[in-house]
Amino acid sequence: MNYQIELRHLLYFKVLAEELHFRRAAEKLFIAQPGLSRQIKQLEESYGVTLFERNKRNVQMTEAGMYLFQEVKELFRHLDQIETQLQSFANGKISTLKLGFIGSAVQTILPQLLVTLKQQQPDIELSLHELANETQLDLLEKKELDLGFVRLSETPPGLCSLPIHTEHFSLVLPNNHPLLKSPQPSLDAFKNESFILFSKNYSHSYYDLVMSIFSDHKFIPKVTLRTVNALTIFNMVAQGLGVAIVPSSLKNGYHVDVTFLELNTLPQRTTLSLVWNAQNRNPGIPLVIQIIASQTNKAGPDTASINNNS
């Protein structure tokens, strides 16, 4: 027998899956226990599977039931998000915004963005996550992040990007490094040094760009440590464990124990970009794009400035 599955069937299933007890589930739903049993039976007959194993002592989910439970939890989570977002539209407010970022965004665009967002939307709930590039891109594709600040050479399919800031690289040395006594040491002078670099997990394209610097200078670096954390790199350099190559903007917010030498004669540049999922309808996304465009003196988020690979 085929029944038309309604949302209430899935709600009843979800509560029973949480309680694993018909009486308690029925009480929680404010319905009679036979009515709950009937709704679950209809659901099982409609899908053609057994969702619960029942006996006099307990109720257990089958494999099919456990699968449906995970999907139904996600469904109701999404429905809650829809309700929250619709209420925000009705109130003219943006309720939540989940932002991913890498360390250099904190030294450039992010602080003023947060100030401006709070001024325009005082009640907004901001969720900030410092994450590697590749992790951000994955979460953006799943819509588990709304926006991300990343370094990339190409915009992945399904995502859009707005370039924010292009910059040189810098060589980072401990303050007592002997080559600091040279007037203008070249990168070639450091070919026998140990290097501490951002790992490929930080960003595949960024890692390849940095390695191309060494390739242009005809040497393979001796890499003693790879990490996704800028502060770790600087602390290790300060301890004399190696030297590093990083985006120059990172010198704006860190320590007194290391020295930055700008490599501004190199052809390689790295760009910090704002990235989002074109299918994400959070109303905060266009607001952030507009604020960023204003802060970076761009004309606006038009087709000339946005890379759309959706």
Q: What amino acid occupies position 89?
A: F
More confident residue, 296 or 274: 274
Provide the whole-model pTM: 0.67
Q: Are 268 and 158 in contact, with CB atoms under 8 Å apart? A: no
Fold category of 169-268 in CATH: D-Maltodextrin-Binding Protein; domain 2 (3.40.190)
> Which ranges of the chain does DSSP label H, i.e. alpha helix?
7-19, 22-29, 33-47, 63-91, 103-106, 110-120, 133-141, 204-216, 230-238, 284-295
d(CA 131, CA 110) in angstroms, rounded, equals 14
Give the mean pLDDT of 5-22. 94
Q: Does the pLDDT value for residue 93 go beyond 90?
A: no
Give the mean pLDDT of 238-264. 89
Q: Give 210's pLDDT tier (boundaries 50, 70, 90).
A: very high
- What percentage of the chain exceeds 90 in pLDDT? 65
Q: Pick from 10, 23, 86: which is nearest to 51 by CA?
A: 10
Domain 93-165+271-308 part of CATH 3.40.190.10: yes
Best CATH choice for the domain 7-89 from the list 1.10.10.10, 1.10.287.130, 3.30.1600.10, 1.10.3080.10:
1.10.10.10
Q: Does the pLDDT value for residue 309 go beyond 70?
A: no
Give the mean pLDDT of 37-63. 92
How is the chain split into domains, by residue range?
7-89, 93-165+271-308, 169-268
Q: Pick from 176, 168, 98, 180: which is nearest to 140 by CA?
A: 98
pLDDT of residue 2: 55
Give the mean pLDDT of 277-293. 91
Is there a shared CATH topology between the 7-89 domain and the 169-268 domain?
no
Q: Does the pLDDT value for residue 192 go beyond 50?
A: yes
Span of 23-37, 126-140, 296-310 with lowest mean pLDDT: 296-310
pLDDT of residue 298: 52
Q: Tell me 6's DSSP state.
A: -
Q: Does the pLDDT value for residue 72 go beyond 90?
A: yes
pLDDT (tens digit, 9 = 90+) per residue, 123-147?
888 999 999 899 999 999 999 999 9
More confident residue, 82 or 66: 66
Supply the mean pLDDT for the chain.
Answer: 89
Q: Does the pLDDT value for residue 310 go beyond 70?
A: no
For strand 147-151 and strand 159-167, is the pairing parallel, antiparallel, or unpaired? unpaired
